[in-house]
Every structure is written in structure tokens, then in C-alpha cells.
Chains A and B, each alone.
Chain A
Amino acid sequence: MKLERLRAIAIGVALLLIWELVGRLAGRLLPPPSEILAQYWRDRDVFPAHIWATTRSAAAGFLLGNAAAILAAIAFCRFPLLEQLFRGVNIALFTVPAIVIGPIFVLVFPGDLPQIVLAAVLVYFPTMAAMLVGLNEIDPRLSDLVRIYGGREAALMRFVRLRSSLPSLLAGLKVAASLAVLGAILGEFGSGVRWGLGTFLLGSLSQGDAPRLWSIGLAATGLAMIGYGAFALIGAKTTGATKAVTLANKLPDRLGDRAGRRGGAQRLAILLAAILTPFVLWEALIAATGLSPIIAPGPIETLSYLFVSPDSAAARATLLNAVGETLPIAALGLVSGLAAAFLLASFTVLQPRLARLVLPVALVAQNIPLVALTPIVLLLFGRETLASVFMAVLVVFFPAYVLLSQGFALTPHAARDLVRAYGGGRFKELRLIATPYSISYLFAAAKLVAPQALLGVMVAEWLLSGRGLGNLLNVSRGNLDYDMIWAGAMVSILISVAAYQSVAALERLWR
């Protein structure tokens, strides 16, 4: 154990030295660690305040979002119908490109609240999903046992479900912790607050000062990793058990499970209700905040802005144009990211030892807040389309790789041994056994990352390229074009949900 730790430290130090060396030779793009450290020192007057502001918003959003997520998971477990009705809301919250609702929250909430609420929104889904899976997946014998003593659902919840969901909940919280940091930073982009890593990043991007950009990206990553690590540690301490490393990815499949038993008409009614619920909630929330319909239009106003109002044609043209710029890039990023992940993950079969080295890196990397990557992307690819593509690939690759290598690792050994017993090599094993087995993981990964690809492209567009949907939202925000902000947000969410649902539909076709 100690030796292993020493070796890890040695590898870390070696990597730092190589980085330093390459940094000194490569010059501007990759500043050496010593220069980044010096930058921290130069910015020592402002850095702590920026970090503190982001930490505060992230922590508040983390608490808020997780409280909602835990209560929701318990309610969904107790009343499956409720979960079906809220499916539309849940999928929307899962797929929502966080950057599009940031500007809306800025319109609706005062002060630090936009960042906090955005962090809470990002945190909600992974925690809710992980907890719900934990609550639902209990040993059926335990349910029998409680019933044998006259216990009902309440007793089962109290004695069995809550405690058995703990490892799963902690796995969700781990992911949520780093998402809270991302949410806080994305919220700062639009809110014009004085302090925060997002504000700092936005202000520094135009200067193109590599050491400073890296220092901000690393600070954001560090913050997210501290949260992630804290919950990983708590998880390891309290449960000891090795739980699946991926979080919530299971849920979207699981959501569909219990719908089967109802009749056709009833199912259609539930489906319609699930589609309508998000819009009803939208209307209700606006009514509750009492905001002017000019700043905060409801679903009906937004639809009429796009289809009925005098400038609807112009608005539609602008939006369609932006979508036309964004979608191909997101699709390209998604496909290439997935392909790269699939190829690399197949090394799990071809080169198990190499895979064992890469997986921990990917596990950590998938939790790096994507805004922390923006500086690197800017420095490497500039502000052109390629930057947007690369951003999407980056966001897609790591989670997809983690999920796919699990898929490859989980192929039944007996099936693989069978190939070997007949003298087949590793490539045969990959082709005949591992690849077919991991196709379902490919779909799961695609569902998970399709919305992320869109988010990645939109962040790049907002911060770097100045094109597409991301830029449209940023510009509308600057022009106080409220109708366009809401319409753009709605369209982005709908695209994201559509992307998710089409992967799900493809998956059903495949089966």
C-alpha cells in the first residue's frame, strides 16, 4: 500500500517535471507549472475572493438542489405515478444545456441567486436519479420480510430503502459536488457579479494570458475535485462496498420500466401529462414570482412570439440560423467523441493493463467542469469552429469512455473464455463477444452525453466563436431581448430532449 502511494507520488512528480519542461519549450500555449504558480502569486489579491464567491454559490446550490433531489426521489419511489408525471420535467432538467437557463435566472432572481439556483438545477438530476435507483433496487426478500410482519411501504422505506440507497446517494452526491461548481461558474457568466471564477474567466478570456487562464481553469477543477473527493471519501468510509462508478446513467432506462402494466389510453394520458407538466410548471413558477410578462413570458407568450407576433418570421429565421450553425457541430462532436471513446474503451479487451491505467484518469477527468477546459481549448484551437467541435468531443469523451469500458469489462468471462477455448485471439474476442455485449452501453453513453455535446458547443460559442445558439443567447442577453432569451432557451431544451429521445428510440429499434 505504502509502496503504491510512493509510486503514485513519484509518477505525479515526474509528470509535473515533464509538464514544466514541455511548457518551457512550447512557450505560450502550455505554460509550465512554475509560471502558473507565479500567476497565482501575482493575482493573490483577487484570487481568494473569486474562489470564495464561487464556493459559496456552489455550496448553497449543492444544499438546495440535493435537498430537493432527495425529497423528490423519496416521493417518486413512494408514488410511481408521480414519477411518470414528472418524467418530462426530469428529462428536461437532465438534458437542459445549463448555459441557456443562466440568463433566465439572471432575469428572474436577484443577487447571487442565479448562480445558486443554476448550481441547484445541475445538482438535482444526478442526485435524484442515483437515490431513486438506490431506493428502488432493494432485495425483494427484504420486501417480503417486512410484509410478513404486517409492514407496509412506509416501514419498508424506513427500515430498508433509505439505508440501502445510501451508497448510491453518495455516488450521486460525488458527481453533484463537481456539477455544483460548474453551475455556479456558468451562472456567473451572465449575472454580472463582481466576484467569482466565472466572472474572472470571462474577464480574462479576451486578454489571452495563458498562465492566468490556466490558473483559473485549474482553480475551478481543484474546487470541483475537492467536492468530488470529499464525497468519494465519505462513500468509501461509510459503505466500504464498491459501488458502480457511474452515477445516474442507469436511470433513464429505469424510468421506462414501470410504465408497462397500464392500458393504452391510460399510458397515452400519462405521456401527455408528462409532456405538459414542464410547461405548466413554467407558467406556475412565473405566476408565483409575479414578474412582468415582458421580462418573463410564459409558454404561451413564447410560442406566440415565435409563431404569431408581427416579427415572428424574423425571430424564427434568427433562431433557425443559429440552430443550423450549432447542431452540425454538436452532432460531429458527439459522434467523434463517442467513436474515440468506443475505440479506446475496446482496449479493455485488447490491452487490459493499459486500460487499467487510463480508467482512473478518465474517472477524474469526466468531473472536470467543462468551463475549466475553455482556456485550454482557446489556446489550442483559437476561436474557430474547430474549437467548438473539440469542446464537444472533450465533454463527450470522458463520461462515454468510463461507461463503455465498464460495458467491456462486464462482458461475461465464460463467453470470452469460449472464444479462447477455440483458439480465438483478443481481436476475435472483441469482435464476436465484447462489442455486441457493449452495444447497450454505447446507447446508454450516447443518451448520457448527447445533451452534454450540445452544452459543450454552446459554451464554446458563447465564450469563443461568437456563432450559433450559444452566441445568440449571449447577444440577446446583452440586447435585453427577453423574448429571444426565453425562445432560445426553450428551443435548446427541446433540441436536447429530442436528441435524448431519438437515441432512446434508436436503442429500442436495435433491440
Chain B
Amino acid sequence: MITALATAGLGAAVAFRARDDRMEAKPMAEAAVDLIVDRVAKVFPGPQGPVTALSPTSLKLSRGSFVAVIGPSGCGKSTLLRIIGGLETPDQGAVLIRGKSPEQFRAEGELGIAFQDPALLPWRSVRRNVALPLQVLGRRVADHAGQIDALIQLVGLAGYEDALPSQLSGGMRQRVAIARALVTEPSVLLLDEPFGALDQILRRAMNVELQRIWMKSGATALLVTHGIDEAVFLADEVAVMRAKPGRIAEIIPVPFPRPRDPALMTTPEFHEICDHLAALLGEAGDEA
């Protein structure tokens, strides 16, 4: 276990970590910090002058933890996620993932991402869509064939390996996107409202699935979402953001043990946290 953690930062070695090893590493997760967002700020030019998308914001994610970011539109939560993924460069501050910049970290295939839109290549089958990150990283897809099929099974799409995205339902496409995000065995998983386009019923089912898949993967996860119950059900910590300027207002711990059962969502404790978050978000709304 200790060796697993020690080698985790060593680039190439990470890719070949045994899955079981990583699961065992989970209970010790609180020890190490995986991801540091250090006073990151971003200003975008707008039609009426510059807009502060993100005023200096800091955040820490422990290894193997699940953190949800929630807030009103325009609070900078997506910007924060994009900066962590190296898709935007911050004007100030820095992001360190296991001591590396996002650009270095992602070139090693240590980052996985899923968007609100599954963004599948319409001409590729499920299997080849899942394989895309490997190809971009220049790895041989044939070496990972077994792992790809196992992932497709993990997200519940066994039998659909050769289907095209147009033949799948919205929820199934989103599962493909999740499988694709996991194919490089990333140590950090970025989820940008991955179920935002699904209806409430499907969304709940997918949340249960996501918890199961994430627990198997052992990755550190950052979820950006609009859904209060989704955040509380999935996360160890919920960061509440506010707009104008975009910032993290408060971080609320969610202490429920895992694996969490859907029945949790009917308990008073669950609702208490949800109500608390709703109140915080309500204040944020009044401000805006």
C-alpha cells in the first residue's frame, strides 16, 4: 500500500498500478493531498469590460476523495474545472496535481474528463470511442483491449461494444463518456456536470452507478454540478461557490459512510445537509 502511494507520482509507473491495490489505498486517502488549487484567478474580456470569472480561489483535494463544486450559473465553477484540467490558463496562482502542472500531468494520461455533453465521435463504435484517449496518448490500443472491454462492462454496456453513439440512449452515451474518462486509469477525474442533460430519474440511477465506478477506480474526483442532492449523495466535501466575483464561499463536509445507498436520500440527515446547502445557495442567489 505504501509502495503504491510512493510510486503513484512517478508517471509511467502509475499506468500499470493494479486496480486492487488502489482500492486498498482508499482508507488511507486522507493522508495525502492530491490536488492543490492555489489562489487561482481568471478574468475574461466581456462586452462591458473585463469580467472576473474567478477571484483568487484555493482548494485542496485529498487523495482518493470526491469533491463536488456547486453554485449558481456564472460563479466560475466550470472555469475552475477547466483551469485544473489545463484547458484555461489562470491569470494568477497555480494548480498543482501531485506536484506537477496540469499540462505535465495530463500528458501522462493521469487526467480523465467527462462533460455535460458526452462528446462522442459519432463515427466511432463504443469500443473505439473508449479507446480514443489511449490513441491520443500514443499508446497501443491492442495492449488495452481487455481493459477496454472490462470498462464497458463496468459501466453496464456489455453487448454494446460495437454500437454507434447514434444507436444509444442519452444515458448510455453518458456511460460511454465515463468509461472513456477511466480508460487511462487516471488518478484525477474531472466531471463537468456529466449528468446535467439527463432527466431527474435517470440522473439518480447514474449517480449510484458513478459512485460504484468511482469506488472501483480509486481516483480523486472533482464534480461540478447544479444538483444539490447529486453533490451530497456523491461527495465527501461540497464546495459552495458564489458569483460576482466567482469564489468558493464555504466547504461543507458530508460524513456519510460508503458505499452510500439510494435510501440515504430519504433520511433526515441527508435532507439537513441539502437544506443547509440550499440556504447557502439562496444567499448566493440573493447577492447576484
Do these two chains really belong together in a complex? yes
Instruction: Tell me the A residues contacting B by CB distance below 8 Å.
Output: 139, 141-142, 144-151, 155, 159-160, 163-164
Interface of A is mostly: helix
In contact, A159 and B132 (Cβ under 8 angstroms): yes
Given known A-B contacts A147-B87, A148-B87, A149-B109, A139 and B119 have beta carbons under 8 A apart: yes
Given known A-B contacts A149-B106, A150-B137, A159 and B111 have beta carbons under 8 A apart: no
Chain B residues whose CB sits within 8 angstroms of the CB of A163 once the complex forms: 121, 123
In contact, B123 and A144 (Cβ under 8 angstroms): no
Nearest CB in chain B to that of A147: its residue: B87
In contact, B115 and A160 (Cβ under 8 angstroms): no
The docked-state distance in angstroms from the alpha carbon of A416 to that of B285 is 35
Those 8 A-B pairs whose CB atoms lie nearest each other, nearest first = A150-B107, A141-B119, A151-B136, A149-B136, A149-B133, A148-B113, A141-B115, A155-B136
In contact, A160 and B121 (Cβ under 8 angstroms): yes
The docked-state distance in angstroms from the alpha carbon of A334 to that of B87 is 48
B114 to chain A, nearest CB (A): 9
Chain B residues whose CB sits within 8 angstroms of the CB of A150 once the complex forms: 103, 106-109, 136-137
The docked-state distance in angstroms from the alpha carbon of A170 to that of B277 is 52
The docked-state distance in angstroms from the alpha carbon of A190 to that of B111 is 63
Q: Tell me whether B209 is interfacial, beta carbon within 8 Å.
A: no
Chain A residues whose CB sits within 8 angstroms of the CB of B153 once the complex forms: none
The docked-state distance in angstroms from the alpha carbon of A147 to that of B133 is 10
In contact, B87 and A144 (Cβ under 8 angstroms): yes
Looking at A145, A147, A148, A159, the one whose CB has the most chain B CB atoms below 10 A away is A148
The docked-state distance in angstroms from the alpha carbon of A159 to that of B123 is 11
Q: Tell me whether B170 is interfacial, beta carbon within 8 Å.
A: no
Given known A-B contacts A147-B86, A149-B109, A150-B107, A159 and B115 have beta carbons under 8 A apart: no
B223 to chain A, nearest CB (A): 16
In contact, A148 and B106 (Cβ under 8 angstroms): yes
In contact, B184 and A142 (Cβ under 8 angstroms): no
Q: Tell me whether B64 is interfacial, beta carbon within 8 Å.
A: no
Nearest CB in chain A to that of B139: its residue: A149
Among residues 80 to 109 in chain B, which have CB atoms less than 8 Å away from a CB atom of chain A?
Answer: 82, 85-87, 103, 106-109
Q: Tell me whether B38 is interfacial, beta carbon within 8 Å.
A: no
Looking at B85, B109, B115, B190, the one whose CB has the most chain A CB atoms below 10 A away is B115
In contact, A144 and B115 (Cβ under 8 angstroms): yes
Nearest CB in chain A to that of B87: its residue: A144
The docked-state distance in angstroms from the alpha carbon of A191 to that of B199 is 67
Chain A residues whose CB sits within 8 angstroms of the CB of B121 once the complex forms: 142, 159-160, 163-164
The docked-state distance in angstroms from the alpha carbon of A159 to that of B136 is 8
Chain B residues whose CB sits within 8 angstroms of the CB of A159 once the complex forms: 121, 132, 135-136
The docked-state distance in angstroms from the alpha carbon of A164 to that of B119 is 13
Listed by A's residue number, 12 A-B pairs whose Cβ atoms lie within 8 Å are A144-B82, A144-B115, A145-B132, A148-B86, A148-B111, A148-B113, A148-B190, A149-B136, A150-B137, A151-B136, A159-B135, A163-B121
Chain A residues whose CB sits within 8 angstroms of the CB of B123 once the complex forms: 163
Chain B residues whose CB sits within 8 angstroms of the CB of A144 once the complex forms: 82, 85, 87, 113, 115, 119
Among residues 53 to 67 in chain B, which have CB atoms less than 8 Å away from a CB atom of chain A?
Answer: none
In contact, B137 and A145 (Cβ under 8 angstroms): no
Q: Tell me whether B149 is interfacial, beta carbon within 8 Å.
A: no
The docked-state distance in angstroms from the alpha carbon of A149 to that of B183 is 11
